[in-house]
Structure 1
Amino acid sequence: MMRRTDTTWAQVKVGVVLIFGIAAILYTIMNLNSGMGVFASAATFQASLDDSQGIKVGAPVRISGVDVGNVKGVLIDPGKGTVILSFTVNTEMRPLLHDDAAIMIRPMGLLGDKYLDLLAGSPKQPPLSDGAVLSGRGDAADITGVAGSATATLQNVDQTLRELKGILANINAGKGTAGKLVTDSTLYDHSAQLIRKVDILSEKTSHLLASIERGDGTVGKLMTDRALYDRATAAVGEMQKLGALLNQPDGTLGKLARDPALYQRLEGVTAKSEALMGKIERGDGTLGKLVNQDQLYKRADKVLSEVEGLIADIKKDPKRYFKFSVF
């Protein structure tokens, strides 16, 4: 019986050693995950923020992506309604913290785990004092917000797809302008006719250009006849000579163009001609009466009629008017 009791006690001792060993291993693993050595000391800090973003006790604390501690507690301040985070930082990292230090809660991945990002602050600021409460806020790029935005975006995409499906259904049914364009064969027939007309016009244009190149017709001769070009060049030369003559001050044309006396004389002649024409129109003078009074016309007509009658009578009986005698 004593041997059985001794064996039981030995087993108890082995069990206790195993329990302490497992606890030590777990403690070591937890400290390694927090970035702290097994026997390293840690400083405890607090931070106040509006939302914990679902961060849990044991979440790592990191400075510039390096694990330096872990979260020890997540509580709500009953008086202010804010979240109070307690976290530890390896004492070796304590000199890096300054008075403007702050925290941010960031996601570790798509699974929703969080970690505490400790912003050390500016080196120009004094070291962080003991008992200071750091300010913090949730990360703007929180995965929850991203998921919410993605959900809203998917809803908008779904709504757009439904509207697009309705538009395509209306088009297939021939509704609206787009539907008629797709389903109405009249537009196709008109387009085909227009294309044929364009082809005919293009063919006629090609024939016309070919005939012009061959020199057929008036346009073709204008484009290809060398003699016409020579005549046009000669005409331009004559015009240039005429311009030179006009520019000569001693010539007749030059004097007509430049001498005001000739112009004044021509203007005087024109005025006298206008006055003469006015008298004729009014019936003044012999010419005026000849032009405007029909009495003279009647008298002249009567005289001519009598002369014609006399000539006819003479032709009929010349002996009546002429007598010939030899002796």
Structure 2
Amino acid sequence: MTSKRRDEVLVGLLLLTAIVIGLGGTIWIARGGLSKGYSMYARFPWGAGLKQGQPVLLAGVQVGFVDEVKLIPDGTITVRLQVQKEHQVPAGTTASVKANGIFGDQLIALQPVRGAQGYMSAGDTIPVGAGSPTTDQLLTKGDSIAANVQALTDEARAQFVADGGVKDIRRTVADLTKLVAQLSSVAAAQSAQLTKTQEQLRRTLSSIDSVKVDSSVKNVQAMTASFEQLSRELRETNTKVQGVVDKVSNGEGTAGKLMNDPKLYARMDSLLAHIDALVLDINKNPRKYINLKIF
């Protein structure tokens, strides 16, 4: 092997070693470096997309990483979180899986509660909160929405194009245009008729003679005076009649005595009865009372 060839091999080995050391150092630092920290746990459903080495954020600050992921047959995965020892997780904190970038990577977000009293201990299981939808879920939802939109578009095309819906709409618009034109014509005709009627009324009012109006007013005044005179006469007559009634009620005069004296009323009634009997007897036996002789 020539000296030049040997140098190239050495340079390549050095570069490869540097790359390996750099990657290893990066992973080592990301996992806490010399500070191992303490472990905590969380349980998520299958399909969370978690794997070893993914970051763990507490209120948006990276405090650790995913140390281990175990698949459980009951449909969940148990995740061991390695948290740096200088960070404590407040009590009441919840864990959720969130997207880390746009390339499908995930992270675990720890969301603390404001004003929490105390902290969780090492080895505790952090309760799971509501997570944000993953990229796959968003893509699936987008595909579903696109399919629904496509179905609606196909249905609209079938209704408006294949079944003649566009023609019906055009026909309806044309009919509405005709109707509006007819209504405008009717409104114009009514406006002209109203103007004509107003003009006729104005001419009629202007043709009324003021002398006739004055004469009508005088006639009304005369009729009013006549009604006032008649009213006075009626009041006087009413007063007189009321006086007569009062006298009769008080027993004054013949009529009053007749109405207020029971004995006199009885005598008058008896007298009328005798007169009726006498008239009846005269009608039956006129010769008894009338003796007429003709010589």
Answer yes or no: same fold by TM over 0.5.
Answer: yes
Distance 2:142 2:211 in 1: 78
Distance 2:143 2:211 in 1: 80
Instruction: Verify the 8 A CA contact 2:39 2:81 in the aligned structure 1.
Output: yes
TM-score calculated relative to the size of structure 1: 0.55
| Correspondence 1:47-58 to 2 at 5 A | 47-58=42-53
Paired position in structure 2 for 1:202: 191
Instruction: Verify the 8 A CA contact 1:98 1:122 in the aligned structure 2.
Output: no
SS of equivalent to 1:30: helix
Paired position in structure 2 for 1:29: 26
Distance 1:87 1:109 in 2: 20
Paired position in structure 1 for 2:126: 134
Instruction: Verify the 8 A CA contact 2:90 2:117 in the aligned structure 1.
Output: yes
Q: What's the offset of the Cα at 1:28? A: 3.6
Instruction: Verify the 8 A CA contact 1:49 1:135 in the aligned structure 2.
Output: no
Paired position in structure 2 for 1:75: 70
The 1:196/1:56 distance shift into structure 2, 3 A limit, reads: same
Instruction: Verify the 8 A CA contact 1:62 1:115 in the aligned structure 2.
Output: yes
Paired position in structure 1 for 2:145: 153
**Identical columns (%):** 18
Matched, 1:252 2:230: yes
- Structure 1 residue aligned with 2:82, among 79, 88, 103? 88
Distance 1:202 1:28 in 2: 94
Q: Counterpart of 2:83 in structure 1: which amino acid?
A: V
Instruction: Verify the 8 A CA contact 2:91 2:120 in the aligned structure 1.
Output: yes
Distance 2:21 2:93 in 1: 33
Distance 1:165 1:240 in 2: 86
Q: What's the offset of the Cα at 1:252? A: 3.2
Instruction: Verify the 8 A CA contact 2:56 2:110 in the aligned structure 1.
Output: yes
Q: What's the offset of the Cα at 1:66? A: 1.2
Q: Deviations over 1:250-275 (max 9, x none)?
A: x53255479756999xxxxxxxxxxx
The 1:41/1:226 distance shift into structure 2, 3 A limit, reads: farther
Instruction: Verify the 8 A CA contact 2:97 2:132 in the aligned structure 1.
Output: no
- Structure 1 residue aligned with 2:110, among 118, 127, 139? 118
Q: Counterpart of 1:90 in structure 2: which amino acid?
A: Q
Q: Counterpart of 1:26 in structure 2: which amino acid?
A: L
Greater alpha carbon shift after TM alignment, 68-77 vs 232-241: 232-241
Instruction: Verify the 8 A CA contact 1:51 1:138 in the aligned structure 2.
Output: no
Instruction: Verify the 8 A CA contact 2:64 2:83 in the aligned structure 1.
Output: yes
Unaligned runs of 5+ in 1: 265-327
Unaligned runs of 5+ in 2: 243-295
Q: What's the offset of the Cα at 1:106? A: 1.1
Q: Counterpart of 1:158 in structure 2: which amino acid?
A: Q
Distance 1:229 1:51 in 2: 108
The 1:40/1:182 distance shift into structure 2, 3 A limit, reads: same
The 1:60/1:225 distance shift into structure 2, 3 A limit, reads: farther
Distance 2:214 2:34 in 1: 113
Question: How many pairs were matched up?
Answer: 236
Distance 1:208 1:225 in 2: 15
The 1:109/1:23 distance shift into structure 2, 3 A limit, reads: closer
Greater alpha carbon shift after TM alignment, 25-34 vs 65-74: 25-34
SS of equivalent to 2:64: strand
Matched, 1:162 2:154: yes
Ranked by relative contact order (alpha carbons within 8 Å, sequence separation 6 or more), the top structure is 2
Superposed CA RMSD in Å reads: 4.5
TM-score calculated relative to the size of structure 2: 0.59
SS of equivalent to 1:202: helix
Paired position in structure 1 for 2:202: 220
